[in-house]
Amino acid sequence: MRLYYGSRDVDVSPREAIVEAERLTQRGGNVTAIDVGAYDHNESILAAVPSVVAWFDAVAGAPQ
């Protein structure tokens, strides 16, 4: 699982994403928190889309 976050998010703080990724990893999950840049909550969603698509393509084995 990947948790994408923006460093200017005030709705879900970057620290919350990082701590949750660590917590889930400690429970056996394969989790990564990824900073998409200086974006707020809604902007970070849009900024993460290309990375999400590329990751899904890689996991599915699609040509890049």
Q: Give kind and range of the element (H or E) at residue 33.
A: strand 32-35
For position 34, what pLDDT does the model report? 97
**Any idea what the Cα angle at residue 21 is, between residues 17 and 1, rounded to 5°?**
105
Distances (CA, A) of 25 to 2, 21, 32, 37: 11, 6, 8, 23
For position 61, what pLDDT does the model report? 85
CA 64 to chain centre: 20
Span 17-57, pLDDT tens digits: 999 999 999 999 999 999 999 999 999 999 999 999 999 99
